[in-house]
Amino acid sequence: PAMWIGVVSLFPEMFDALTQQGVIGRAVEKQRIALEFWNPRDYATDRHRSVDDRPYGGGPGMLMKVDTLRAAIFAARERAQQATGLVPTVIYLSPQGRKLDQQGVQALASAGPLVVVAGRYEGIDERVVESDIDEEWSIGDYVLSGGELPAMVLIDAAARLIPGVLGHQDSAVEDSFNDGLLDCPHYTRPEIIDGRQVPDVLLSGNHAAIKRWRLKQSLGRTWQRRPDLLEGRPLDAEQRKLLNE
Ligand code: 6GU
């Protein structure tokens, strides 16, 4: 496989949504992406197979139980090394992490094997972060009930950058954000919806004009909706040429 990812999660079934549908599902099926799972519950030895524990200092909520969590991380790390010959980067998803953007996704996609730890409850013991986690990432400033959805977001975003995962049809080269801009508007049949025509230029067959129109739309939308993305970011050579034509 071009990408190896181990996932530590109490709810591995949630990842069926990622691995059994769409382009990522196909890439897993074709073994371009290897995804393996480690469930801390499988390492529990007590009668109740507990995977949570109480926080020192009291207060509401529980933390992930340290020994079962670490056993799962260690097993995943060992397997990553056995499967790839490389030491994996161990990633923990939490709202306290560095905020993920397309640049971060690109870095993770080319970082070699990953072990992704999805937390539950109020999170994990800080000493486990210090000793067993290499990087802590967040997917945005809002709170989710667990790390599984963020893990799937990270894996989807990274996997689709691996050559051959997307078909030529929906190549990542043309993506919104690939050039740091928002995407242009898109149109399909019918040519008129409730009296609103598809922009003429898209029907013109003039490929240079279409490319120029799309860049202008991308720039305009980015300026209107996300001016923060334009700060300190000059146009590249191709974009300057296109706009001056
Ligand atoms: Cl990585 N985890 C949780 N639980 N909530 C989040 C998040 C991560 N990123 C944004 N919100």
Query: Which runs of consecutive H residues, i.e. helices, occur in the chain?
Result: 16-19, 22-29, 66-84, 102-109, 126-132, 148-159, 207-225, 237-244
Give me the active site residues, please: 95, 122, 160, 175
Q: Which of 28, 104, 121, 118 is nearest to 73 (CA)?
A: 118
pLDDT tens digits, one per residue of 125-184: 999 999 999 999 999 999 999 999 999 999 999 999 999 889 766 678 777 787 899 999
Give me the pLDDT at residue 179, please. Answer: 85
Which CATH code for domain 176-244? 1.10.1270.20
Report the predicted TM-score, pTM, of the whole model to 2 decimal places: 0.95
The predicted model gives 48-69 an average pLDDT of 98
- The most confident of 92-101, 165-174, 234-243, by mean pLDDT: 92-101
Give the mutation target among 139, 142, 156 for probing the ligand 1 site: most ligand atoms within 8 A of CB. Answer: 139
Q: What is the pLDDT of residue 169?
A: 67
CA dihedral 140, 142, 147, 150 (to 10 degrees): -40
Cβ 139 vs Cβ 154: under 8 Å = yes
What is the CB < 6 Å shell around ligand 1?
93-95, 97, 138-140, 142-144, 146-147, 150
Structure tokens at 106: 């690109």
**Intervals of CATH 3.40.1280.10 along the chain:** 3-159
Distance 137 CA to ligand 1 centre (A): 8
Q: What per-residue confidence (pLDDT) applies to 170?
A: 67
For 191-202, give one letter per residue: b (16+ CB within 10 A) or e. eeeeeeeeeeeb
Buried-state track 121-145, b at ≥16 Cβ within 10 A, e below 16: bebbbeebbeebbeeebbbeeeeee
Write down the pLDDT at residue 233: 87
As annotated, the residues of the chain forming the CATH 1.10.1270.20 domain(s) are 176-244
The CATH architecture annotation of domain 3-159 reads 3-Layer(aba) Sandwich (3.40)
Q: What percent of the chain has pLDDT over 90?
A: 89
Dist. CA 199 → ligand 1 center (Å): 40
- If you take atom 7 of ligand 1, which residue's CA is the nearest one? 95
- Judged against a pLDDT cut of 90, whether residue 199 lies above it is answered with yes
Q: Is the pLDDT reported for residue 108 higher than 80?
A: yes
Residue from 144, 148, 152, 153 whose mutation best tests the ligand 1 pocket (most atoms within 8 A of CB): 144
Give residue 173's pLDDT: 75
Q: Which of the 8 DSSP states describes residue 172?
A: G
Cβ-based burial of 245 (10 A; exposed 0-12, middle 13-18, buried ≥19): exposed
- Note the ipTM here: 0.94
Q: How confident is the model over 1-15, as pLDDT tens digits?
A: 999 999 999 999 999
Per-residue confidence (pLDDT) for residue 100, from 0 to 100:
98
| C-beta separation of 88 from 115 below 8 A | yes
Chain centroid, CA 229 distance in Å: 19
| Cα–Cα nearest to 155, from 11, 32, 33 | 33
The pLDDT tens digits of the residues spanning 24-47 come to 999 999 999 999 999 999 999 999
How far CA 208 is from CA of 176, 180, 204, in Å, comes to 19, 21, 10
CA of 93 to the centre of ligand 1 (A): 6
Question: Predicted confidence band at 88 (pLDDT cuts at 50, 70, 90)?
Answer: very high
Q: Which of 129, 149, 152, 155 to mutate to test the pocket of ligand 1 (most atoms within 8 A of CB)?
A: 149
- Residue 88 zone, left/alpha/beta (φ > 0; ψ -120 to 50; rest): beta
| Closest Cα to atom 3 of ligand 1 | 144
- Interatomic CA distance for residues 136 and 94, integer angstroms: 7
Q: What is the pLDDT at residue 97?
A: 98
